[in-house]
């Protein structure tokens, strides 16, 4: 993605150039180690600020257009909370399908309208590439909050931040991703971020839901090692990060096959008894039954911390892009 300086806050001329100011956030591919370190550090500061004071007025007078073409309570609420805790304001735009879009308006026109009102646009859209399209037409910064089976970079960043928060550093960790690795947008994006660090990957899935070749190619090209496995029980004692995703019935044409594999990927107290004492269990949520409620109070269960960390990461990104971090 080319680096263009968008028309952001003219008052912030003397900001420090952190590489984010005036930029769009569309893909995990934009992040190298320097940028990751920067954002993780700012997220850490945001955490301190929220815990001590509830928030900080960095973005007073700024407006975020929160444009959701498909519902996602979790992600839209997280961006909203992030903006509000920075002293900014939010225009929530949900159910766009019922609105001018049904009258046939194009995404570029919608985006150009909203940037007339707002200082930054967050977009969630079911089609791959839609966030990049929005960014191309917008003069104001655009943040991708998920474009179909494409990317969801802020999710990958919050996942990374949760690993650092939980285990101190990323280098040297054994990271197992478990469940539906074929269609799971989050595991693809997180893998692409993690190749910036010296980690080992273990990909655990039913055969028909293996990690796609293009993601494995990224791992290979970066010189990282990975194993593949079909059973989470084999490797549970070795892993530092267990990243769980749901194995959905709908993915299987042969339901007998589904019934055979489904329980192999459930995380329950029995499985956790065999896990390291210092490790974390992650999940992008929502979960159904792939993680038992019985482990929610296990200190290794990190999935609710992921939610809170999502707010810190988004605060960091909003502040950085608007030149106030």
Query: Which residues form the interface with a second copy (CB under 8 A)?
Result: 9-11, 51-55, 61-63, 65, 71-74, 77-78, 80-81, 84-85, 89, 91-96, 98-101, 103-105, 108-110, 112-114, 116-119, 285-288, 293, 304, 307-308, 310-311
The H or E element spanning position 306 is helix 303-321
Nearer of residues 62 and 152 to a second copy, judged by Cβ? 62
Q: Which two tokens mark 245?
A: 């995703």
Active-site annotation, residues: 74-75, 103, 124, 152
What DSSP line would sit under 179-196, residue for residue? S-TTT-HHHHHHHHHHTT
The β-bridge partners of 92 are: 66
**Min CB(290)–a second copy separation in Å:** 11
**Min CB(9)–a second copy separation in Å:** 7
Nearer of residues 111 and 173 to a second copy, judged by Cβ? 111
Which 8-state DSSP code applies to residue 229? Answer: E
Angle between helices 303-321 and 153-167 (to 10 degrees): 120
Query: Contact, 77 vs 308, CB < 8 A?
Result: no
- C-alpha torsion 203→206→208→209, nearest 10: -50
| Strand ranges in the chain using DSSP code E only, listed in sequence order | 63-68, 89-93, 120-125, 142-147, 174-178, 200-204, 226-229, 241-244, 280-282
Q: Say how far apart CA 7 and CA 224 lie, in whole Å.
A: 39
Nearer of residues 94 and 229 to a second copy, judged by Cβ? 94
Neighbours of 208 (CB within 10 A): 14
Nearer of residues 223 and 286 to a second copy, judged by Cβ? 286
**Min CB(91)–a second copy separation in Å:** 5
| Contact residues for 221 (Cβ-Cβ < 8 A; gap 6+) | none
Nearer of residues 62 and 188 to a second copy, judged by Cβ? 62
Query: Contact, 215 vs 191, CB < 8 A?
Result: yes
Nearer of residues 41 and 113 to a second copy, judged by Cβ? 113
Q: Which two tokens mark 271?
A: 């499985």
**Min CB(90)–a second copy separation in Å:** 8
**Min CB(256)–a second copy separation in Å:** 23
| Contact residues for 58 (Cβ-Cβ < 8 A; gap 6+) | 86, 87, 319, 324, 325
């Amino acid at each position: 993605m080319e680096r263009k300086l968008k028309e952001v806050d003219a008052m912030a001329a003397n900001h420090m150039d952190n590489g984010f100011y005036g930029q769009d956030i569309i893909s995990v591919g934009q992040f190298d180690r320097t940028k990751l370190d920067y954002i993780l550090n700012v997220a850490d500061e945001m955490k301190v600020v929220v815990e001590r004071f509830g928030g900080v007025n960095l973005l007073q007078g700024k407006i975020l257009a929160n444009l959701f073409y498909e519902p996602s309570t979790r992600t839209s609420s997280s961006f909203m909370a992030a903006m509000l805790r920075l002293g900014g304001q939010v225009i929530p735009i949900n159910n766009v399908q019922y609105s001018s879009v049904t009258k046939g308006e194009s995404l570029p026109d919608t985006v150009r309208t909203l940037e007339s009102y707002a200082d930054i646009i967050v977009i969630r859209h079911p089609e791959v590439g839609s966030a990049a399209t929005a960014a191309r037409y917008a003069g104001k910064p655009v943040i991708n909050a998920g474009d179909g089976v494409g990317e969801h970079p802020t999710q990958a960043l919050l996942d990374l931040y949760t690993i650092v928060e939980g285990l101190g550093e990323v280098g040297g960790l054994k990271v197992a991703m478990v469940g539906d690795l074929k269609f799971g947008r989050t595991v693809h994006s997180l893998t692409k971020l993690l190749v910036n660090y010296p980690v080992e990957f273990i990909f655990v899935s039913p055969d028909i839901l293996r990690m796609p070749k293009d993601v494995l190619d990224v791992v290979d090209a970066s010189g990282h090692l990975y194993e593949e496995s079909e059973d989470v029980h084999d490797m549970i004692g070795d892993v530092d990060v267990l990243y769980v995703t749901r194995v959905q019935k709908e993915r299987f044409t042969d339901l007998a096959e589904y019934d055979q594999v489904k329980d192999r990927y459930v995380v329950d107290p029995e499985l956790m008894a065999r896990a390291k004492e210092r490790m974390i269990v992650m999940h992008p949520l929502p979960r159904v039954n792939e993680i038992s409620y019985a482990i929610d109070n296990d200190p290794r269960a990190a999935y609710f911390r992921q939610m809170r960390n999502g707010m810190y990461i988004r605060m960091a990104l909003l502040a950085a892009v608007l030149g106030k971090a």
